[in-house]
Structure 1
Amino acid sequence: MFAVHCGPNVEFKGSEPATYQSSDWAQRGFCSQCGTHLFYHLLPNNEYILPAGLFQDEQFELESQIFIDEKPSFYELKNQTRNMTGQEVFELFASKD
């Protein structure tokens, strides 16, 4: 999934998204009518992460890859990024408790 880190100031127009508490430190947001995934909300720092496909005509720069240890071997991104394994991601957020 390609996602955009949007910080804490995210507003949704129209219906309020439904949420699901997926862990002690995060919740997921989705459309209650069609089930479309709308965001991942990191609770410790109040950061919203939204799928890049929700944005039109925006330019983004890929800065990091997470769960790199689960990446299929048949593709490789060309630019240099910060790469984190799943374990490193969980350790990062566990340390914020």
Structure 2
Amino acid sequence: MEGHCLCGAVRFSAPDAKDIGVCHCGFCRRWGGGPLLATHCGTSVSFTGAERITVYASSGWAERAFCSQCGTHLYYRLLATGEYFIPAGTFESNDMVMTSQIYVDRKPDYYAFANETPMLTEQQVVEQYGFPPEDAKS
């Protein structure tokens, strides 16, 4: 799958992935003003225009990146595994499907998705993936 930032300065290629996961945690909502809708792309992602990528260490286990020219959110990456989660809207493909939602107990009441997906609470995410609980300040 091919994708790029708003201005086109950063382009990327990732393995074909059709599943979109939604994260409702406070970090993701603060980062983008709403839930993060992202595709799990694994570790095989290649970038051109990497000099325009700015990385922010958002926690002890992950980093987030954006285009320094236009501000487009480019990825959330797990430090331990190097796996990338790339915002679905940055891909040129529109044939993806929402398949899961996490941190559903952190979701505010002002939005809801009609899609029927598996939904994990913060505690279930902690138990399943080993991530520490979200920081209370988020």
- TM normalised by structure 1 equals 0.78
1:18 and 2:32 are equivalent in the alignment: no
Unaligned runs of 5+ in 2: 1-35, 133-138
| Alignment partners' CA distance in 2, 1:10 and 1:24 | 22
**Residue 30 of structure 1 contacts residue 39 of structure 1 at CA under 8 Å; is this kept in 2?**
yes
1:80 and 2:116 are equivalent in the alignment: yes
Q: Of 120, 125, 128, which aligns to 1:89?
A: 125
Partner of 1:48: 84
Unaligned runs of 5+ in 1: none
Which digits, 9 at most, give the CA deviation of each residue in 1:6-56, with x for residues without a partner? 100111122331111111110111112232211000122221001111012
- TM normalised by structure 2 equals 0.58
Cα pair distance change 1:79/1:35, threshold 3 Å: closer
Cα pair distance change 1:34/1:72, threshold 3 Å: same
1:6 and 2:41 are equivalent in the alignment: yes
Shift in Å, 1:78 = 3.9
**Residue 29 of structure 1 contacts residue 38 of structure 1 at CA under 8 Å; is this kept in 2?**
yes
Partner of 2:104: 68
Report the RMSD for the aligned CA atoms in angstroms.
2.1
What is the number of equivalent residue pairs in this alignment? 95
Partner of 1:38: 74
Of the two structures, which has the highest relative contact order with CA contacts closer than 8 Å and spacing of 6 or more? 2
The list of structure 1 runs, each at least 4 consecutive aligned residues, that deviate by more than 6 angstroms after superposition, is: none
